[in-house]
Structure 1
Amino acid sequence: MNPQQANYKQNHSTVQEFILMGYQEYPALLFTVFLATYTVILLGNGLIVVVTMLDPALHTPMYFFLRSLSGLEMCYTSVTLPKMMANLVSRNHSISLPTCATQMFFLIFLGGTECFLLAAMAYDRYLAICLPLHYMTIMSHRVRVGMVAGSFVISLPMQLVQIGIIFSLPFCKSNEIDHFFCDIPPVLSLACADLHSNEMAVYFESTTFVIIPFLLILASYIQITKNILRMPSATGRQKTFSTCSSHLTVVILFYVSAAIVYLCPKTPESVKVNKLLSLLYTIIIPLCNPLIYTLRNREVKTAFRRLLGRKRSLEVAKRING
């Protein structure tokens, strides 16, 4: 702790808990919307996990990454949505400092992991389209497990350090967080200390976890686009692009919203915008993932029908044997 922070602690009472303000209007309506959204997120992403695990035809690298992404999205959403719904039906909107720190850690840890996982998925598509003859050799089971595990490992130590630095600050300006959950920008705004080094750390980490993976994704899709344009068949070009468009849609929504929240300069007007954008990358994208990847993916829909057909056959066999 530097002398300035120590002086603040001596002359001010430090906040022991925060109040999550969120939106105070229409709590019953918002609770219903959030509950329905959370249910669809868990069911939709859970369905992708189950179908891609049970159907042998989907035991490929692409669906391994999709299964990992769906599992990650369920965890990511569970960090914020249950507390948001509890605040809507309770008069007590408080959250203790340790709970706030825990929520923030898992939010940025899982968010950082998703950034690198989306980059790994883009690299997988690059290999499948640009180097099809070597695809299965390069993207072996060991490699893809290592890429998913690496996405978690890269994110963990930096986020632990970030959380430790933020919650070592004295919070004595106010205890009201103008947000739905404990995110870095609104919590930092309540600290009564020199925040220059903290803001630089946030920019550095955001660059590492947002800009670098995005540039890797961009490089992959530049090569993919070049390869698609060289295809002689229009049908082949359309089919190949359709396998990438779902992933590209998720990437654009996720990275643009995260970049605006964490990298753009903070102004009084940006607070409300950031609140809305935070809903985009914590709720809307996990909600859209199963819709984007299943409604536009013939193989997943076929596998789901096979799974339902297998279930009906088992039920009929049980009735006959019973």
Structure 2
Amino acid sequence: MISEGKGDSNSLNADARMPSLLALRCFESAARFENFARASDELHLTPGAISRAVRLLEEDLGVELFERRSRRVFLTEAGRRLAKAVSEGFGVMNQAVREIRTDARRARQLVLSCEPTLLMRWLIPRWSDFQARHQGLDIHLVAGGGAFSFDHGIDLAIRRDDFPRPDTYHVQTLFLEKIGPVCRPEKVDQWFDKRRKHLRASAPLLQTASRPTAWNEWANASAVPKPVAQMQTFEHFYFSLQAAIAGLGVAMGPWHLVRDDIQSGVLVAPLGFVEDGSRYCLLSPALLKPGSLEMELLEWLQLLDDMGC
């Protein structure tokens, strides 16, 4: 009787034993696609590895999970039951991981990536206002432009919306881009016509390698002929704007990058500014939650634009 009792106990333990988590992950992907090759692409494994993992799972459970016909696979009734349970289980785990990571992020500083020239010439000069309004909140500012990934230590990003991005990113408009030619005040008579309607053909033009189409975008938005003059090229917007401040020529100035210089009289925009059809956005991995630090930052950024800052 003792041996029978032990046998029953061992049988119960065997029934309660969970299969390999890797095998379940391979099965879940293969079941979702009903295709081993697509599952292998998703999990970065070979189709053979997916097939072996599923076979081991079938042997462990003592039941076929897929019906294999003409090099295609179809879920059996047992396979559908297991696929539903495993999918729900992984969903619960993924949600828990996201919540834990979010809590961990809030326990440390939030990382905000911003395009370098916008960070230098617009955000940092106004950052003390945010700190005064939100004392004790820790946000780390880093410079970065173009494509990025939220998997690499970035929580939020401010970008001009002019590059491909995953559809899963949440996008909130901050302001529309407005651009116009800018130069030193004392150079206006030399480089612009008397009525301040056009650039003179002799005006030295400055452009940036990071946005080489800026002059053409302005011409299209202003309905004027595209400039044909030789242009001096700088690596970044900041350098071309500094060159304009130094009196080297006329730069294409985005309003938010030159507004402080115009208000202080260092630069002027004789032809004004026009919207070029682009915008600056705050990008986040998901919809921002009301009351969160991320939402407080968004509201402050939008307040800046509403106040004309």
TM-score by length of 2: 0.21
Bigger radius of gyration: 2
TM-score by length of 1: 0.21
Higher RCO by CA contacts (8 Å cutoff, separation 6 or greater): 1
More helix, by proportion: 1
